Structure 1
Amino acid sequence: MPEGHLLHRHAREQRAALAGRVLRASSPQGRFDAAPYDGRVLAAVGAWGKNLLYDVADAPTLHVHLGMRGLFLRYEDTTATPPRGTRLWLAGDGAAFALIAPSRCEPLTPAGRTALLASLGPDPLRDGAARREEAVHRLLAARGAVGAAVVEQGVWAGLGNAWRAELLFLAGVDPARPVARLDAEEAGAIWDLAVELLPLGRDAGQVVSDPAAPDERWVYKREACRRCGAPVRVSRVGGRTAYTCPAEQR
């Protein structure tokens, strides 16, 4: 599933290409009613965790969640034929975007938007130091394993399996460790790493857990730890595959 850094990247790209412009909106696939958005001005595009919200003049908020298979394709030729299976086609005067296979593409009422945002925890790419105390509190209040808590969107918004593996490695925390055995200093250190590294991932379009070697990972989908060479342990934490260095993570 695309993680928060990629959603923020999509938001930034589409905001630059479409915001302030009249949209041509359609659903070539026929599974979404795009009429309320067609011919109207896009005011803003924002990302909250793994969610995209589009503010369009005189229309309901448009909510997109890519889920496991969703993706955007960009076209510089706005007269191009959308690919087969396009749920939503958004075009301005200089670029067009095809949304394919999202898990959610829906209008939201004001109450629905409020409920969605209320369900999400702090987003490292939106909130940074401003909500650090809340982020620490939410993590320490979670139940179960640390590795399950940090990918729970109501705890912290935007993290997925790849960021979990790399951030917990850098913090020296085993994903299977119970949250009850995590202290505030450790929780804050994990948040600080997310605030530092996710912007690098957004800018690069990939997970960047080592600025000196942006194409490398420490433990995620590796056979051996890149730091110490120990065999990476592969297990299940919170229903997802976890990658851990038994020598580096307590």
Structure 2
Amino acid sequence: MPEGHTLHRLARRHQRIFGGETVRVSSPQGRFADGAAEIDGLVLRTAEAWGKHLVHRYGPARSERIVHVHLGLYGAFTEVPMPMPAPVGQVRMRIEGTDAGVDLRGPTACEIFTPADLEALVSRLGPDPLRRDADPDVAWKAISRSKRPIGSLLMDQKVIAGVGNVYRAEVLFRAGIDPYRRGDRMTRDEFDEVWADLVALMRIGVRRGRIHVIRPEDDHGPGSYARDRPRTYVYRRAGDECRTCGTTVRQADLEGRNLYWCPVCQT
């Protein structure tokens, strides 16, 4: 599933190519046909992200229409040059602008939202490290009162929005924190370090279009865990040597997700 930086990058790209334009919207697949008809011919006013959720606002403002997209495990946007050719495959939503178009395939959700729907969604999410209006105190309060492992809490979208398995594994390694440590045994200084690191690393992800977590002094040794994937400290490196201490990186299941950590560096 894409992590939060991917959705923010998409929002910026959609704002850049469609913002302020009257767009044509259709649903070649048919599953979003009614929603597409509501926004077809309107102006894309803004595109923004909350965690792993993408939101388009179409105008005019007095009769705004909101589209909510959650990519899930299989969803993806594909940018298509103009004039757009006939759609290929199961295209849930097609957006055509003046100079470019995009096709959306395989999302978990692509739906029309009311303002109340959007408010309810945002109220369920924790602060997003990539949003300027994020309040880390909200996340700290949730973590500091919880007996759940910090490795679970960082992946809980109700605690912090947008963090996925890669960022979870890597920020805890960079901070030297055992992922099984209970939230209520974290110090405020440790939380502040993790939050600041998330902000910095996820911003890099938005700028580069890919995750980058290795510090310059550690940017050597074995390559990435798979072709075209980021070089990591522990994520998907179970059984390999830790890049900093040489200990074998471990893997376990934590609340249904693969967890990776170094038992020596993370205490």
- Place the TM-score, normalised by the shorter chain, in its bin: over 0.9
Q: CA deviation at 1:78?
A: 3.7
Whole-angstrom CA distance in 2 between matches of 1:83 and 1:247: 50
Q: CA deviation at 1:131?
A: 1.7
Whole-angstrom CA distance in 1 between matches of 2:260 and 2:103: 34
Quote the residue 2:76 is aligned against.
71
Quote the residue 2:243 is aligned against.
226
Whole-angstrom CA distance in 2 between matches of 1:196 and 1:151: 18
TM-score (norm 2): 0.89
- RMSD of aligned Cα (Å): 1.6
Measured against aligned partners, the alpha-carbon deviations of 1:130-182 in whole angstroms (never above 9, x if no partner) come to: 62323322322334110110111110000000110001101111112221221
Quote the residue 2:145 is aligned against.
141
State the 4+ residue runs in structure 1 displaced beyond 6 angstroms.
Answer: none
Deviates more, 1:12-21 or 1:205-214: 205-214
CA contact (8 A) 1:78 1:93 kept: no
Deviates more, 1:77-86 or 1:34-43: 77-86
Superposition pairs of residues 47-58 of structure 1, within 5 angstroms:
47-57=49-59, 58=63
- In 2 relative to 1, CA 38–137 (structure 1 residues): closer, same or farther, beyond 3 Å? same
- Structure 1 unmatched ranges of 5 or more: none
CA contact (8 A) 1:136 1:191 kept: no
CA contact (8 A) 1:63 1:105 kept: yes
Paired residues, number: 249
CA contact (8 A) 1:87 1:98 kept: yes
Whole-angstrom CA distance in 2 between matches of 1:160 and 1:202: 14
Superposition pairs of residues 57-136 of structure 1, within 5 angstroms:
57=59, 58-127=63-132, 131-136=135-140
Q: CA deviation at 1:59?
A: 4.2
Whole-angstrom CA distance in 2 between matches of 1:160 and 1:123: 12
CA contact (8 A) 1:234 1:244 kept: yes
CA contact (8 A) 1:175 1:237 kept: no
Quote the residue 1:2 is aligned against.
2
Quote the residue 2:172 is aligned against.
168
Q: CA deviation at 1:126?
A: 0.5
Quote the residue 1:235 is aligned against.
252
Aligned AA (1:184):
R
Whole-angstrom CA distance in 2 between matches of 1:203 and 1:43: 22
Q: Tell me the percent identity.
A: 40
- In 2 relative to 1, CA 89–131 (structure 1 residues): closer, same or farther, beyond 3 Å? same
CA contact (8 A) 1:37 1:59 kept: no
Q: CA deviation at 1:210?
A: 2.3
TM-score (norm 1): 0.95
Whole-angstrom CA distance in 2 between matches of 1:143 and 1:31: 42
Whole-angstrom CA distance in 2 between matches of 1:85 and 1:167: 36
Measured against aligned partners, the alpha-carbon deviations of 1:201-246 in whole angstroms (never above 9, x if no partner) come to: 1111221112534942111111222222211100011220000011
- In 2 relative to 1, CA 139–83 (structure 1 residues): closer, same or farther, beyond 3 Å? farther
Deviates more, 1:208-217 or 1:108-117: 208-217
Quote the residue 2:16 is aligned against.
16
- In 2 relative to 1, CA 39–211 (structure 1 residues): closer, same or farther, beyond 3 Å? farther
- In 2 relative to 1, CA 206–142 (structure 1 residues): closer, same or farther, beyond 3 Å? farther
Residue 151, structure 1, aligned to residue 168, structure 2: no
Quote the residue 2:227 is aligned against.
none
Aligned AA (1:50):
K
Aligned AA (1:13):
R
Superposition pairs of residues 23-62 of structure 1, within 5 angstroms:
23-32=23-32, 33=34, 34-57=36-59, 58-62=63-67
